[in-house]
Chains A and B, each alone.
Chain A
Amino acid sequence: MSERRVSRNVPIILSIVIALMLAIAPLPGWAEPYRPDWVALTLIYWAMTLPQTYSVGSAWLVGLILDVAQGTLLGQHALALCLVIYITVKFHLQFRQFPLLQLSATVFALLALHQFILFWINGVVGVNSPAETYWGPVISSTLIWPLLTMFLAGFHQRARR
């Protein structure tokens, strides 16, 4: 049983690692403000699908890694991801029933909240953050969400076998 559990979790952890890599991959300058929030999207998907396994704890750990990778204050991404994943897990049964359009709108709201917390902490500690970079990641992430769900669903199917 535990062997099956391991083999099932490997692809999921792999997807999170890939999301982390996409989050630190270099992008051309013009695309930088529109980099989708890969880590948040992937974590939201797994928290919705497997809320018992991937919940606030894993979100917090991944957030800490992201903080170190991006050089932000330790705990900044951890807090933002933790809150977003808490809401996702809390309402995962409702979210699963949503049609795609409504779910995308929900993801939009979750990511806006995520971005708000990052900006808020930046504001509190006095790091200037240009306001025009607020919505870029939120919009690009929402647009990429349907594709990502399809991809991760395939991942999950394979893992289940």
Chain B
Amino acid sequence: MAASKSDNQFGSPFLPSLGLRFLLLAGLSILLLIIDHRDNHLDAARKAIGATVYPLRVIVDAPVSTWRWLTDTTASRNDLQLENSRLKTERLLTLARLQRYSALEAENARLRDMLEARATVREQVRVAEILSVSSDPFRHLIVLDKGTVDNVYDGQAVIDANGIVGQVIEAGVLSSQSMLISDPGHALPVEVNRNGLRTIARGTGEFDSLDLPFLPNNADIEPGDLLVSSGRGGTFPAGYPVAVVESVTRIPQEPFASVSARPSAALNQVREVMLIWLADEPDELEVDADAADDEEATDAATSETEAEIGDAIAAPVENDSGESDE
């Protein structure tokens, strides 16, 4: 170390002046911003830095998980019995529904065989826990505790018991970052369950509303309509509930109606979500043990009969992208 007059002198004789250092670093930041915005060549750097952040996330999450562990272990016998009986009834109901679904599924497969359509896409599901939620109020991002070691990949669909939550945008080694469908930069192709009307649902930055910006004034859509994923973009499997239409405002002089919908998934309340792997072979369907009691995980035998037409975008999109396909 350099001999220094004051103890604070920490190697500063080796460094250029403050102004120069600032200019260099600012230039470097702008360069990084441009590269990161244009394309994703910085994934490796992100992953490396992300690995240093992971212990911090675990420590931050520790009080919450300890608290949950404590309440679980100290729950009274009475509470446990109540919960147990409730879960048993729920399980019965779910099993009853599942029976109907498996019959339908078999019938569907038979009909499909007759039509010689493509085999039904089946999914594999695993539960992931949310480690942290982005503190940046402009981005709706969550961090899950599964990473590439668990075969998580970029663009993977994330759902909860009630519907689609979002997609993985950055799979790290031990954790992965996902974008919620309510993020202002997210859009996904949906269709109206009632009549198959296709459109795009865009995030608004609010957890309880999605925007359907590309529906003409005469589109057949009403409050209460269920929107399901159409599978057109290739990212999300088809047939999962996305949102319920809340309001439709038709302004005669505007080209498009303003339609807003409420997401089916409780986007700001979930702690556990499910990751979906698409498996083409029907036999590969395995449901993780802890996801087995979840009806939504298994019911959606989805189909994609038509080829994916690239008219819908299921990816984080720029604001100006996307057009109506009706």
Is B216 an interface residue, CB under 8 A from the partner?
no
**Cβ of A68 under 8 Å from chain B:** yes
Q: Which of B55-63, B153-161, B219-227 contacts A (4 or more CB under 8 A)?
A: B55-63
Known: A21-B56, A126-B318. A52 touches B9 (CB 8 A): yes
| Inter-subunit contact B49/A68 (CB<8 Å) | yes
Whole-angstrom CA separation of A26 from B68 in the bound complex: 15
Residues of B contacting A41 with CB < 8 Å?
Answer: none
Interface size (B, Cβ < 8 Å)?
55
B213 at the interface (CB under 8 A from A): no
Known: A2-B1, A20-B56. A128 touches B136 (CB 8 A): no
Q: Which residue of B18, B30, B137, B205 is within 8 Å of A75 (Cβ)?
A: B30
Q: Which of A23, A51, A55 has the most CB of B within 10 A?
A: A55
* Cβ B49 vs Cβ A65 within 8 A: yes
B46 lies within 8 A of chain A by Cβ: yes
Q: Note all chain A residues with C-beta closer than 8 A to B133.
A: 26
Q: Closest A-chain residue to B179, C-beta based? A: A71
Q: How many residues of A contact B (CB 8 A)?
A: 52
Of A56-64, A95-103, A105-113, A144-152, the one touching chain B: A56-64
Q: Is the interface of A mostly helix, strand, loop or mixed?
A: helix
Could you tell me if B56 and A24 are in contact, using CB atoms closer than 8 angstroms? yes
Q: Does residue A27 face the partner (Cβ distance < 8 Å to B)?
A: yes
A82–B319 touching, CB < 8 Å: no
Verify A69–B56 contact, CB threshold 8 A: yes
Q: State in angstroms the CA–CA spacing of A69 and B21 once bound together.
A: 25
A-B contact pairs, 7 of them (CB 8 A): A24-B57, A24-B60, A29-B268, A60-B25, A64-B49, A83-B26, A129-B205
Question: A-contacting residues of B (Cβ < 8 Å)?
Answer: 1, 6-10, 12, 15, 18-19, 21-22, 25-26, 28-33, 35-37, 42, 45-46, 49-50, 52-53, 56-57, 59-60, 64, 132-139, 141, 169-170, 177, 184-185, 205, 207, 268, 318-320
Task: Add 7 more A-B contacts to A72-B136, A126-B320 (CB < 8 A).
Answer: A24-B56, A25-B60, A33-B137, A73-B33, A82-B22, A128-B184, A128-B319
